[in-house]
């Protein structure tokens, strides 16, 4: 920042404030652009994964989803970048580490990240031109494609409704959990922007006019209503000059009325909503109940963080007392909390699944009684310490997986900045945590419960109940409305509608001009590192256990993995190890009750959890490694206590608490149903893979529909099967946790290694079995081409095969094909023209190759598009510019930023798959050398895959029945 002085103006920006924010290892600089009114925050640090975001305050005034549709639409071409979808072109060919956009309840954010300076500049320019100069003013078809439109191909046809957001929200409104969360917020703030559905309600999306769409952009997408965020190791002087000269200096400051008014207390209100189930389903125990409480303001740092901790403490921890009380009262089978602090008035929710409307009064009473008891007697200080430690570890580690931490900080910043607060409020967590830690000696959380929950004058009870007729009623209503609309049109209007449908389809099918495509800035292959990143790995003997050691700086955290080989287990034991994974750490042990155990684990570690792994050999899908693994994050000073706890869990867990076991099984079933409803493509992909792949069949038994059926059966027959279940689980622990079956993974610096070595004996690993037997490949799933029927309004369609079984090999060029198919062929055909929200291809080195779609209104049409992929490949053409784009995008996928812990995990996975550094380097070189002729040659592979005709569709019952000739079996997905 050189000579920057406060209150001076630099490149049109007034320098307002600076301070060091040690909590996030950054120095903050706050600016305001004088002419346009744009606000800017820069967090300067040494992170080379740079982040940019521009956000707008966009409080909805209706349920049409206008801001969600705008979020999609502004990324469909702009003045400077006139191609149909610059966003997709960037996905195809940038080195971005993150590229997306978000619609929240009251704001729209456009964030991106990249480690490459040139790429970062390019991405920023495309995004800024998109939000300020979008092509929506030139082409009404953009609204029709991304939002909604009437489709009429011929005058004699029925009129249909289509659109990407329309279908996305049809999928969202098919999920009862999604409906519940929306109803919770709407019920608390009925007189404000939060009383509307910012994503768009499918019933109201067709009310959005082009005029309102355009007016909303004019009003809200102004620099005066914008919040610009920059993060990382970058030249801020250059960025300020660029922003001023290229964009902001063209605008004058205006008043934008985007203020968000708080909701006056509503007292105690009740809201009832319905969600669809299949006509043949039993509607008992399928109601959702929720109590919701408005909590303070998002600009208050204490309640913002304290209720996040309280949510875990009361409801989400395995030892959560409110959750236990509700389950013990028999109110429902699953209880989960939610706390939304990304709106002006955050709210806290107690949610119950698998209940009945008749239990709502009992639900309210048990919540009230339990909270009163906790206030009166005090919350267990160990539980409080554990809950605070969980959050503190998360904040300090700042490991958000694939999401750059700078991106997470940008969202956190907006939780105060958007409402006129200090943007740094929630980044300064140290001081807030110190205040909250008063709870360890005082009655801090008890006071919060009393003030905001027990004495609330702003709460709602939400009931979301099943309806066997709702799906048909809504479908009939839409059909009748469309039929009535068609009848109202004269011949000229009908022909105009056919013409507009064709015009949209022609635009969607048209190719961008080469000169327009070249406006999208592109790196050259010279900007790409030709060598793959080497992951450190040393094979070391640690007291007789093979150890894969990854020497990396981890800020005093040891990342430990214990991999126990499960190859000797019989096929019928597979679902039992998946169940064991869910139980360990949540049940009693010889030394601890499960509540005490959870507290100790959270106090002594950052996390201990359990996983089941299936890792295919790089050369043969029928050869794979199966493991039960223990994953732990431990501060080096707490290794002895943590190792004692891990030993206790592995060797002294008890399965004799029948009610506890029953409660966890019910929760597993519930959470799987939630996951299936929200991500149906994962069900279809796992299932179809299990038709032809032994490793996929193993995974399906661990976490797919087969495991769900196992859990459902166990739940339904629990009293009869409990004794056998307890014996089976007890026997499994005796068979699994032997030092002879163990490989250790460890990531940390040398001091951590030495400390682990010194304390290793505390793990108390025993040897009581021979070496594991050779793996016995599991049987394939016998069903073929299943239609898995649900009450959802959309589909998830999968089709695939194993190309190695068909005589083909895995190469780097295949990854380029995956990029081309996903972001070119399938994107255009399935998403743009078909209206699905998502689509893609999964291509694994094991040979498994699967097409999939997400929230797709179509079925037969999508499967036909998969079948035609071979024809697309055979006629594929690309000039050097386009091919370079595809190659760079593929490399970006290979070079996703890795934290030290994920580097260790990836290195372990490669070890078990027998993937050497030379193999990774070969794939990279093959990607870099890919030519259009390579893509053409894959036509044979694609035809061989689709000719196998392995399909699975998870989705709407009526749509599946309409196309029953495609399936060998049409079944209720949850039956």
Catalytic residues: 71, 146
Is 616 within 8 Å of 604 (Cβ atoms)? no
Distance from C-alpha of 555 to C-alpha of 788, rounded to nearest angstrom: 47
Distance from C-alpha of 790 to C-alpha of 277, rounded to nearest angstrom: 7
DSSP 8-state symbol, 662: H
Distance from C-alpha of 515 to C-alpha of 82, rounded to nearest angstrom: 10
The position carrying tokens 């959470």 is 671
Torsion angle of C-alpha atoms 701, 941, 846, 862, degrees rounded to 10: -40
DSSP 8-state symbol, 476: H
Is 915 within 8 Å of 924 (Cβ atoms)? no
- Own/partner contacts of 820-827, CB < 8 Å, gap of 24 or more, are 820/876, 820/886, 820/935, 821/851, 821/869, 821/872, 821/873, 823/88, 823/91, 823/92, 823/889, 824/92, 825/869, 825/872, 826/851, 826/853, 826/865, 826/869, 827/85, 827/88
Taking each helix axis as running N to C, give the angle between helix 880-894 and helix 812-820, from 0 to 180 degrees, rounded to the nearest 10: 110
The token duo for 508 is 């969607």
Distance from C-alpha of 744 to C-alpha of 630, rounded to nearest angstrom: 10
Cα–Cα distances (Å) from 541 to 498, 511, 547, 745, in that order, read 73, 59, 6, 11
Q: Please, what sign has the CA dihedral across residues 131, 134, 137, 139?
A: negative
Residue 55: in which H helix or E strand, if any? strand 50-57
Backbone angles phi, psi at 278, to 5 degrees: -70, 150
Distance from C-alpha of 71 to C-alpha of 199, rounded to nearest angstrom: 10
3-state secondary structure of 257: coil
The token duo for 832 is 């743009």
Distance from C-alpha of 884 to C-alpha of 874, rounded to nearest angstrom: 19
The token duo for 527 is 């900007």
Nearest to 313 by CA among 403, 209, 444: 444
Torsion angle of C-alpha atoms 361, 367, 369, 372, degrees rounded to 10: -140
Which residues are within 8 A (CB) of 947 and not within 5 positions of it... i.e. 6 or more apart?
none
Q: Please, what sign has the CA dihedral across residues 351, 471, 682, 699?
A: positive
In a 13 Å sphere around the CA of 932, the CA atoms on its Cβ side amount to 12
Nearest to 946 by CA among 760, 830, 786, 806: 806
Nearest to 110 by CA among 93, 94, 89, 126: 126
DSSP 8-state symbol, 799: E
Is 836 within 8 Å of 854 (Cβ atoms)? yes
Is residue 336 packed enough to be buried (19+ CB in 10 Å), middle (13-18) or exposed (0-12)? buried
Nearest to 228 by CA among 218, 239, 238, 220: 239
* 3-state per-residue secondary structure call for 347-404: EEEEEEEEECHHHHHHHHHHHHHHHHHHHHHCCCHHHHHHHHHHHHHHHHHCCCCCCC
């Amino acid at each position: 920042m050189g000579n920057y002085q406060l209150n001076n103006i630099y490149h049109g920006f007034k320098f307002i404030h600076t301070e060091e924010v040690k909590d996030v290892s950054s120095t903050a600089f706050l600016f305001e652009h004088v002419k346009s009114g744009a606000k800017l925050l820069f967090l300067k640090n040494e992170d080379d994964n740079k982040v940019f975001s521009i956000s707008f305050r966009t409080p909805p005034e209706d349920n049409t989803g206008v801001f969600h549709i705008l979020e999609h639409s502004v990324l469909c071409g702009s003045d400077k970048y006139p191609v149909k979808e610059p966003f997709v072109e960037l996905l195809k060919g940038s080195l971005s580490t993150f590229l997306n956009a978000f619609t929240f309840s009251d704001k729209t954010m456009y964030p991106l990240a990249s480690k490459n300076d040139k790429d970062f500049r390019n991405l920023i320019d495309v995004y800024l031109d998109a939000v300020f100069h979008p092509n929506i003013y030139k082409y009404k078809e953009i609204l029709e494609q991304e939002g909604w439109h009437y489709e009429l191909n011929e005058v004699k046809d029925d009129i249909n409704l289509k659109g990407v957001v329309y279908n996305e929200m049809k999928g969202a409104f098919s999920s009862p959990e999604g409906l519940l969360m929306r109803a919770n917020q709407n019920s608390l703030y009925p007189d404000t922007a939060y009383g509307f559905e910012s994503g768009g309600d499918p019933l109201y999306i067709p009310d959005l006019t082009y005029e309102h769409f355009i007016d909303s952009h004019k009003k809200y997408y102004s620099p005066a209503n914008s919040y610009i965020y920059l993060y990382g190791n970058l030249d801020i002087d250059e960025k300020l000059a660029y922003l001023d000269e290229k964009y902001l200096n063209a605008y004058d400051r205006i008043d934008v009325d985007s203020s968000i008014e708080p909701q006056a207390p509503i007292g105690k209100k009740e809201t009832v909503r319905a969600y669809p189930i299949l006509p043949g389903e039993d509607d008992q125990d399928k109601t959702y109940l929720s109590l919701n409480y408005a909590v303070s303001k998002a600009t208050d740092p204490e309640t913002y963080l304290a209720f996040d901790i309280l949510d875990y403490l009361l409801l989400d921890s395995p030892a959560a007392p409110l959750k236990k009380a509700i389950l013990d009262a028999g109110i429902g089978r699953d209880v989960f909390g939610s706390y939304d602090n990304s709106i002006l008035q955050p709210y806290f929710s107690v949610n119950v699944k698998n209940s009945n409307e008749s239990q709502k009064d009992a639900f309210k009473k048990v919540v009230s009684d339990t909270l009163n008891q906790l206030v009166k007697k005090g919350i267990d200080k160990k539980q409080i310490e554990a809950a605070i430690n969980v959050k503190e570890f998360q904040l300090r580690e700042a490991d958000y997986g694939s999401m750059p931490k700078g991106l997470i900080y940008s969202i956190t910043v907006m939780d105060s900045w958007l409402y006129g607060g200090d943007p740094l409020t929630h980044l300064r967590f140290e001081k807030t945590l110190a205040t909250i830690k008063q709870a360890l000696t005082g009655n801090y959380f008890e006071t919060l419960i009393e003030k905001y929950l027990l004495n609330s004058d702003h709460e709602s009870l939400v009931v979301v109940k099943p309806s066997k007729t709702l799906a048909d009623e809504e479908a009939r209503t839409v059909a009748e409305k469309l039929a009535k609309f068609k009848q109202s049109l004269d011949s000229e209007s009908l022909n105009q509608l056919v013409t507009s449908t064709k015009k949209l389809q022609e635009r969607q099918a048209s190719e961008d001009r080469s000169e327009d495509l070249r406006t999208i800035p592109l790196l050259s292959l010279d900007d790409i590192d030709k060598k793959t990143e080497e992951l450190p790995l040393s094979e070391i003997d640690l007291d007789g256990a093979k150890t894969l050691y990854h020497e990396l700086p981890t800020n005093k955290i040891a990342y430990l993995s214990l991999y126990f080989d499960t190859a000797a287990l019989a096929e019928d034991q597979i679902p039992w190890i998946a169940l064991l994974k869910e139980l360990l750490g949540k049940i009693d042990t010889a030394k601890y009750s499960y509540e005490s155990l959870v507290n100790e684990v959270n106090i002594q570690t950052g996390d201990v959890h359990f996983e089941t792994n299936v890792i295919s050999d790089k050369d043969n899908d029928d050869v794979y490694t199966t493991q039960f693994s223990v994953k732990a994050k431990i501060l080096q000073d707490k290794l002895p206590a943590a190792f004692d706890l891990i030993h206790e869990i592995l060797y002294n867990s008890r399965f004799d608490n029948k009610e506890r076991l029953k409660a966890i099984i019910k929760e597993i079933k519930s959470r799987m149903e939630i996951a299936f409803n929200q991500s149906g493509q994962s069900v279809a992909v796992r299932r179809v893979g299990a038709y032809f792949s032994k490793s996929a069949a193993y995974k399906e038994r661990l976490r797919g529909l087969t495991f769900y059926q196992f859990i459902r059966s166990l739940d339904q027959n629990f009293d009869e099967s409990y004794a056998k279940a307890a014996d089976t689980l007890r026997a499994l622990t005796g068979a699994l946790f032997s030092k002879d079956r163990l490989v250790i993974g460890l990531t940390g610096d040398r001091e951590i290694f030495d400390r682990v070595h010194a304390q290793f004996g505390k793990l108390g690993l025993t040897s009581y079995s021979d070496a594991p037997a050779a793996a016995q490949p599991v049987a394939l799933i016998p069903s073929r081409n299943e239609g898995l029927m649900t009450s959802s309004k959309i589909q998830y369609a999968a089709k695939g095969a194993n190309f190695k079984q068909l005589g083909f090999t895995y190469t780097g060029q295949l990854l380029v094909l995956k990029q081309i198919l996903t972001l070119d062929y399938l994107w255009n055909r399935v998403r743009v023209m078909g209206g699905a929200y998502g689509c893609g291809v999964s291509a694994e080195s094991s040979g498994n190759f699967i097409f999939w779609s997400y929230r797709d209104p179509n079925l037969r049409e999508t499967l036909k598009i998969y079948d035609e992929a071979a024809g697309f490949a055979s006629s594929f053409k690309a000039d050097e510019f386009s091919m370079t784009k595809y190659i760079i995008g593929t490399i970006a996928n290979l070079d996703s930023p890795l934290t030290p812990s994920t580097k260790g995990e990836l290195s372990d996975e490669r070890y078990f798959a027998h993937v050497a550094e030379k193999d990774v380097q070969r794939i990279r070189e093959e990607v870099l050398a890919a030519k259009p002729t390579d893509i053409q040659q894959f036509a044979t592979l694609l035809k061989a895959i689709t000719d196998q005709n392995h399909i699975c569709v998870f989705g709407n019952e009526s749509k599946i029945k309409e196309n029953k000739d495609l399936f060998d079996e049409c079944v209720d997905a949850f039956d």
